[in-house]
A and B are shown apart, each in its own frame.
Chain A
């Protein structure tokens, strides 16, 4: 075995000292000369039309510098996702809207000398709404009489369906000796990073924009902003200070566009920090999913057929949804000859769904692994043996994938997990009080596979390293450190 001096070592993170002493600067810790504050006026209704906005009283609040409404900004539609360009990303969102489609949709924005002046002004803006019928669940959004969220761009709230298949699913199910099926309902989940989503936008002169802010995908966000604001990418600079978590929520634009326009209007840097309430209803959630799953297997334990139909509650805008639905189709690390996947993206008046840890993976994996357990029980097979029997191996393809996988250490992984399990059992047996009131403990097993094999995209990662004469190295990369452990040590 090679004796590595770096690989396998666990050096302290370089920036930890700054963080434990309170010296690390996060977006809200930054003070840019001349900086003022911005706040977004958000819809209290899940679906409505704005009939009138009266901001006269709000403008009189001392310290208020400006107020923007839907008519004051570009009506151009965009997709906020920090994903590489794709025809799957529908453009259906506006910076400010007179047709709010979820609670928290952006109607107007205030810029003022202080945060408290912003708060007072927001309260004094009078908006007249015509309340429209709203639908929150996939089922209601797909009903025949459901209101259309985006009648100009879609004929149904099911705005995209992602399909993948291999073999013949009907034949596969017919051939299977045992078929198990169920419907799984998974709720929306909020990221709740401890640091709220924040940005400081500085429009300098007419044609250059600098943004300090919470971001996981600065280059993609720059691309979207460039198109939306009509600025060349070279004139937009995005700086990511220390960031208090991301978990996927910051893989998209939040307030940067309206912050930029407020800054342009008042010619000063504008800071916008979400309140915790805004974080909950006006940022992004993990997709609520209804998963219909059917798995066919032979008595010998070999999987024959896998039929998955998933309904993703996208919320009010397309955002990441079709790409999340597509990602879910590629996380099936078992050898299955007959496979069919359908992922329907459904618009509703629920909070907008987007990227969150696992990106389409957890919902289907949860449903699949529960069904696999039920099958193992029926076959009277050990659940780990059953999974290993069907697990993909080097040189094989994931169902419906094009490329074969070149490495797979699942056996080592299982062996390692078993070792940990035995150690815990040994310790627990030693310590456990066997009285009746003691908590019952049991082991469960689930396999999952993420961002490897067929999910990786060539050309998505890269960096520039410059070695200096003194042996030090400079690293430039588009990967944003969200507080986890990589990049430089």
Chain B
């Protein structure tokens, strides 16, 4: 059986990537296995837990539930793009300080969903924060510290 291959162009973390993919691989497999960006995690593999959340044209999506070919010509951002040359993003800093991280497996997805919210709205209300991370499951923290971390950034931005 001949394996079909398709050429795609995707902007990943600011770099245009010309890639050859098979039609069945997901964006998550492309990122993790082909580009070797391991920061995005596979939790459930069926779009339920949000561990694989990345930004597609600034919108949060489950990378496990999108085919790589669907992202041709588009812009993908992963957790690896959030810190700027070793300097943590204020949201990452807040996750650390507020103890919003325990096992850490949901953290990259949680950070990406929160970043997407903050990009759209610098002063979200608590309800909007809860809505933004409603697709991300965490089994350790009970969420309250994660919400607190996002609120910390919101508060800091207000004082800047």
Contacts and interface: CB of A to CB of B under 8 A. Distances in A.
A342 B135 CA distance: 43
B156 to A, nearest CB: 16
A17 B88 contact: yes
Interface of B: 24, 37-46, 48-49, 51, 78-80, 82-83, 88, 92, 95-97, 99, 101-108, 111, 137-140
A377 interface: no
Contact of A245 (B38, B101, B105): B105
A16 B95 CA distance: 8
A19 B43 CA distance: 15
Interface residues on A, range: 35 or more
B95 A484 contact: no
Interface in A21-78: 21-26, 28-29
Contact of B102 (A18, A191, A276, A483): A483
A243 B78 contact: no
Given A17-B88, A20-B92, A21-B88, 9 more contacts: A20-B107, A22-B108, A191-B139, A194-B103, A194-B137, A194-B138, A244-B43, A276-B43, A482-B103
16 contacts: A12-B99, A16-B96, A17-B88, A20-B107, A21-B82, A21-B83, A21-B92, A22-B79, A26-B41, A194-B105, A194-B106, A194-B138, A195-B43, A244-B43, A245-B105, A276-B46
Interface string A215-253: 000000000000000000000000000111101000000
A26 B80 CA distance: 16
Contact of A15 (B83, B104, B106, B108): B104
Given A21-B79, A21-B82, A276-B46, A195 B103 contact: yes
Nearest to A15: B104
A244 B105 CA distance: 5
B76 to A, nearest CB: 14
Most buried by B among A19, A193, A485: A19
A25 B41 CA distance: 10
Nearest to B78: A22
B106 A17 contact: no
Q: Can you list the 4 inter-chain pairs with the closest CB atoms, starting with the nearest?
A: A22-B39, A483-B103, A244-B105, A19-B104
A413 to B, nearest CB: 20
B140 A483 contact: yes
Interface of A: 10, 12-13, 15-26, 28-29, 116, 191-196, 242-245, 247, 275-276, 482-485
Contacts of A484: 102-103, 140
A13 B99 contact: yes
A485 B101 CA distance: 10
Nearest to B37: A22
A193 B102 CA distance: 12
Contacts of A17: 88, 92, 96
Contacts of B49: 194
Contacts of A19: 101, 104, 107
A96 to B, nearest CB: 25
B90 to A, nearest CB: 11
Nearest to B80: A22
Given A20-B96, A483-B104, A192 B139 contact: yes
Nearest to B38: A29
A191 B40 CA distance: 22
Contacts of B111: 20
Contact of B51 (A16, A116, A194, A483): A194
Nearest to A276: B44
Contacts of A191: 139
Most buried by A among B48, B99, B139: B139
B102 A485 contact: yes
Contacts of B107: 19-20
A485 B107 CA distance: 16
A483 B83 CA distance: 22
B43 A20 contact: no
Contacts of B95: 16, 20
A423 to B, nearest CB: 15
A177 B99 CA distance: 50
A251 B44 CA distance: 21
Contacts of B46: 276
A20 B153 CA distance: 15
Nearest to B89: A20
Contacts of A18: 104
Nearest to B22: A116
A16 B107 CA distance: 10
Contacts of B105: 26, 193-195, 244-245, 483
Nearest to B136: A194
B101 A21 contact: no
Given A12-B97, A22-B40, A196-B43, A245 B103 contact: yes
Most buried by B among A20, A24, A483, A484: A20
Nearest to A29: B38
A376 B55 CA distance: 55
